[in-house]
């Protein structure tokens, strides 16, 4: 691939995104390629060494907030014609609920992931609280009743408390993994809004 093709493809896929980000990234890749050529590489070789357009696009998306990506990519690139506005207005009972539904689905999906983690923590917390309560009640009952049941309560309390504490370790790990997963999901959603490949290329390949 030639340098210009590489740059054009990035520009095409980033179309509509904040111009400042697009220009910065294109300047960066263009400088990298030029520096490699100056270092003695052939143009195609330099472009290859810089990496794939996919990786470049991912790296650029990394620094643009999700809301900005969606806003830029759903905004029409030209002024709408009158009949288009009419059509949009007439069709709004259909597309608007669908759009809201879609957005809610994404938000809900994101929430559900975290709610599962929170639920785990809540259960663990309940275990520890009930363990502590059982322990305290057991100690208090020791002075009033015979030793059998209070000791049982103390033992059960310690068991629950210890189990709850031990469960904390894998749970914290789970929360960390979820955080990473959530990041991957956000990047994945961002990539929906970026075209996969240049239309011309598809024609040539198909």
Partner 1 sequence: MDAQIKRGLLDICVLAAIKYRDSYGYQIIKDMKPYMQISESTLYPILRRLEEGKFLSVYSVEHNGRLRKYYHIEKKGMKRLEEFTSEWKEIMDVYSFITREADAE
Round the CA-based radius of gyration of the chain to a whole number and report it: 29
Q: How far is the CB of 28 from partner 1 (least distance, A)?
A: 6
Say what angle helices 82-142 and 148-192 make with each other, to 10 degrees: 160
Query: Residue 31 interacts with partner 1 (CB under 8 A)?
Result: yes
Where does this chain touch partner 1 (CB under 8 A) — which range of 23-31, 94-102, 161-169, 192-200? 23-31
Locus of tokens 């208090």:
140
Contact between 14 and 77 under an 8 Å Cβ cutoff? The reply is no
Query: Residue 175 interacts with partner 1 (CB under 8 A)?
Result: no
* Contacts with 201 (C-beta within 8 Å, 6 or more apart), sequence order: none
Residue of 170, 194, 205 whose CA lies nearest to 22: 194
What is residue 184's DSSP assignment? H
Size of the site for partner 1 (CB under 8 A): 22
CA distances from 155 to 129, 144, 151 (A): 14, 18, 6
Q: How far is the CB of 31 from partner 1 (least distance, A)?
A: 6
Query: Residue 56 interacts with partner 1 (CB under 8 A)?
Result: yes
Query: Residue 44 interacts with partner 1 (CB under 8 A)?
Result: no
Three-state SS for 147?
A: coil
The correct pick among 7, 60, 127, 194 for binding partner 1 (CB under 8 A) is: 60
Query: Residue 71 interacts with partner 1 (CB under 8 A)?
Result: no
Where does this chain touch partner 1 (CB under 8 A) — which range of 55-63, 89-97, 147-155, 156-164? 55-63
Query: Residue 7 interacts with partner 1 (CB under 8 A)?
Result: no
| Site residues (vs partner 1, CB under 8 A) | 24-25, 27-29, 31-32, 34-36, 38-39, 50-52, 55-56, 58-60, 62-63
């Amino acid at each position: 691939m030639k340098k210009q093709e590489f740059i054009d493809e990035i520009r095409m896929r980033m179309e509509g995104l904040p111009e400042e980000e697009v220009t910065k990234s294109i300047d960066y890749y263009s400088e990298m390629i030029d520096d490699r050529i100056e270092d003695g590489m052939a143009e195609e070789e330099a472009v290859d060494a810089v990496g794939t357009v996919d990786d470049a696009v991912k790296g650029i998306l990394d620094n643009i907030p999700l809301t900005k990506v969606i806003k830029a990519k759903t905004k029409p690139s030209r002024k709408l014609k009158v009949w288009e506005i009419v059509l949009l207005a007439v069709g709004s009972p259909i597309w608007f609920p669908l759009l809201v539904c879609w957005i809610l689905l994404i938000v809900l999906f994101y929430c559900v992931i975290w709610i599962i983690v929170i639920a785990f923590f809540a259960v663990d917390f309940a275990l520890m609280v009930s363990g502590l309560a059982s322990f305290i009640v057991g100690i208090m009952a020791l002075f009033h009743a015979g030793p059998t049941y209070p000791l049982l309560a103390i033992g059960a309390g310690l068991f629950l408390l210890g189990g709850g504490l031990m469960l904390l370790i894998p749970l914290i790990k789970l929360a960390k993994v979820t955080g990473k997963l959530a990041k991957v999901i956000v990047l994945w959603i961002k990539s929906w809004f970026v075209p996969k490949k240049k239309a011309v290329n598809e024609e040539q390949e198909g």
